[in-house]
Each structure stands twice: as C-alpha cells, then as structure tokens.
C-alpha cells in the first residue's frame, strides 16, 4: 500500500469535504430532497439521503485512515 499515490488520498479528502458541504443544507432544513415514482405522489426522502451521506463520509474516513496508517507503517524501516 505504500505505493498509493498522494493524489488518490487527496481525492478522498476532497470527496469527504464535498459530502460535508452537501450535507449541511439538508441537516439545517434549507434544502429537501424528494422523489416520485411514475405518476405517484412526491415523497420526502431527505432523511434517507442524510443517512446515506453520513454513511459515505464515515466509510470513506475509515478507509482514508487505514490507507494513511498503512503508508506510515510502510515508511518505517524494517528492523530485521
């Protein structure tokens, strides 16, 4: 994992920042998300989207933490 490009880690950080930016108006109620199937009524799916964004953020943060730990570990010289 030590050959992971820094650009990829930076892309993960940028994606997390964008998701946090998208999450803010949903959590404050300044924006709502709805969906409609065929000719049916509109349904508010904001809470579902908030949960999905939070899950994406959490999962990506965990992955990023593991990748960064792997890079730090790989940089330690082998003592054997």
- pLDDT tens-digit series, residues 11-45: 999 999 999 999 999 999 999 999 999 999 999 99
| Domain total of the chain | 1
pLDDT number for residue 1 = 45
* 23, two tokens: 């999450």
**Is the pLDDT at 6 greater than 90, yes or no?**
no
Its domain, for residue 50, covers 6-75
**Other Cβ atoms within 10 Å of 44 Cβ, number:** 11
Q: Is the dihedral of CA 59, 60, 64, 65 positive or negative?
A: negative
**Other Cβ atoms within 10 Å of 19 Cβ, number:** 16
Compute the distance between CA of residue 54 and CA of residue 11 in angstroms, rounded to an integer: 18
Compute the distance between CA of residue 49 and CA of residue 29 in angstroms, rounded to an integer: 13
Q: Is residue 1 part of a domain?
A: no
Q: Is residue 80 part of a domain?
A: no
pLDDT number for residue 31 = 97
């Amino acid at each position: 994992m030590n050959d992971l490009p820094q650009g990829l880690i930076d892309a993960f950080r940028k994606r997390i920042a964008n998701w946090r930016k998208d999450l803010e108006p949903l959590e404050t109620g300044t924006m709502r998300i709805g969906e409609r199937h065929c000719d049916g009524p509109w349904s508010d799916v904001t809470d579902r989207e908030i949960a999905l964004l939070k899950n994406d953020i959490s999962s990506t943060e965990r992955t990023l933490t593991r990748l960064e730990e792997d890079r730090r570990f790989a940089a330690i010289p082998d003592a054997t």
